[in-house]
Amino acid sequence: VVNTALGYGVLQKGFATVGTDTGHRGSALDASWALNNLERVVSFGHQAVHRTAVTAKALTADYYDDDIARSLFFGCSRGGGQALMEAQRYPEDFDGIVAGAPAYSWTAELGGRNTLISQAMYPDPTDLSVATITPEALELMGQAVMQQCDALDGLEDGILNDPLACQFDFATQSCSDYETEGCLTPQQLQALQLVYAGLARDGDQHVPGYPLGAKLGEGGWFRWITGGLSVLQLDEFQRGVEPDPEFPDPETPNAHFAFGNGVMKYLIFHDPDWDYSTYDFSTFKSDVAAAAQTLDATDPDLDAFRERGGKLLLFNGWRDMALTPLGTIKYYEQVIDRAADAAEDVRLIMLPGMDHCFGGPGPSLVNWVDEIDRWLETGQAPQQVEAFWFNEEMQPDGSR
């Protein structure tokens, strides 16, 4: 059972806290636990966190013989998706919610978009040794982007403060008729185009693409999008979480390959023999419609949560390759477009140079529990936050 709130000193601040395994055990990269088990899928989708919250709050109130003053939820990645599900589906559970890098679009992003990436990177399912975009091509692309865009914010530090300001034409790196090295092949350029376009079908963009500037580094494309069985070892997939020896990680060329196949095989089709390489997306909407009702936290209607005085704080790293930062921005904009006054109760903080939830060249250590608690206490929404770098002992070391 993972409880990330413990890392923010919640016990020392006087909170009682609880975590849940959402009804199953397994590797973070293996979804076979869901095969033909609707109860587990519903628990994973939304029910387990709600039941855990209701039960834990009852136990806490009974133990202390007092009403609970304030209830908070913190989560990142899958936890960020759980956070949005709570605000949308169970608005009475929590007063303040922090949703970091939220995995809220399981069918379209983690299933469909990742399937599209797998088709581009590994068109032959019998050869998972090296991706279409090789480590050499990845280095070429990353260096070219940073050379052109790193100084746009006035400081050459390996961090793009606003990746949307970076405009780069990868066709300038394409191979000529006589080149074989130090350039991008037509197949590599096509794969790039698919990653940056996101998942779009029938005129709808289900998932935005990725912003520029996050190819290099431990948490970049190599780990999530490209990789290869002959060049990548996904050891300690979740930093700080001890792997369960009973549930080893499956063999996978990159993280998105595992997530995409896991979602499609076990959460959508319930068919372990489903083949990503032959899927044509022609029936994608109908294929995922049933699962989406349980798994996806995409509803921008936060009226009930806000009417109770609820506050939602979203954050995402600009270098996040697990879940596109543009998807988090898209959800925030949908909330505001639906109700302009939601800006009083919903905030989005983007962190330059941060990978998925933490890490990367930028500062990523923020006490999000303090931020949401202060917002509820004072009524003053955070306009900016101070983010710290951390050293090998996970201690603060410089900030912005």
Tell me the pLDDT of the chain (400 aa) as tens digits.
Answer: 888 899 899 999 999 999 999 999 999 999 999 999 999 999 999 999 999 999 999 999 999 999 999 999 999 999 999 999 999 999 999 999 999 999 999 999 999 999 999 999 999 999 999 999 999 999 999 999 999 999 999 999 999 999 999 999 999 999 987 777 889 999 999 999 999 999 987 677 789 999 987 677 777 899 999 999 999 888 666 665 667 788 888 899 999 999 999 999 999 999 999 999 999 999 999 999 999 999 999 999 999 999 999 999 999 999 999 999 999 999 999 999 999 999 999 999 999 999 999 899 999 999 999 999 999 999 999 999 999 998 888 788 999 9
Q: Hey, which bits of the chain come out as E strands?
A: 72-76, 96-100, 199-201, 204-207, 311-317, 346-351, 388-390, 396-399
The span from the CA of 374 to the CA of 367, in Å, is 11
Helix, strand, coil shares, percent, the chain, to 5: 40, 10, 50
Strand, coil or helix: what is 102?
coil
pLDDT of residue 391: 85
Q: Which of 183, 165, 163 is nearest to 175 (CA)?
A: 183
The span from the CA of 191 to the CA of 176, in Å, is 18
Question: Which amino acid is residue 195, in one-letter code?
Answer: V
The span from the CA of 25 to the CA of 117, in Å, is 27
Pairing state between β 311-317 and 346-351: parallel
- Angle at CA of residue 320, ends 270 and 399, nearest 5°: 145
Provide the b/e sequence for 37-62 (b: ≥16 CB within 10 Å): beebbebbbbbbbbebbeebbeebee
Q: 221: Cβ–Cβ under 8 A, 6 or more apart, which residues?
A: 133, 138, 142, 214, 215, 321
The span from the CA of 275 to the CA of 123, in Å, is 11
pLDDT of residue 348: 98
pLDDT of residue 299: 98
Q: Which of 256, 4, 299 is nearest to 119 (CA)?
A: 256
Q: Which of 100, 47, 74 is nearest to 295 (CA)?
A: 47
CA distances from 27 to 24, 30, 157, 242, 269 (A): 10, 5, 36, 11, 20
The span from the CA of 197 to the CA of 25, in Å, is 35
Would you say 270 and 38 are in contact if contact means Cβ atoms under 8 Å apart? no
Q: Which of 12, 10, 18 is nearest to 58 (CA)?
A: 18
pLDDT of residue 70: 95
Q: Which of 28, 29, 26, 25 is nearest to 258 (CA)?
A: 29
Single pTM value for the model: 0.95
Would you say 386 and 399 are in contact if contact means Cβ atoms under 8 Å apart? yes
Count, residues in the chain:
400
Provide the b/e sequence for 180-189 (b: ≥16 CB within 10 Å): eeeebbeebb
Would you say 316 and 325 are in contact if contact means Cβ atoms under 8 Å apart? yes
DSSP track, 15-60: -------TT----TT--GGGTT-HHHHHIIIIIHHHHHHHHHHHHH
Instruction: Enter the tokens of residue 316.
Output: 């995402």
Phi-psi region of 223 (alpha: psi -120 to 50; beta: other; left: phi over 0): alpha
The span from the CA of 225 to the CA of 255, in Å, is 7
DSSP code, position 374 = H
The kind and range of the H/E element at 265 are none
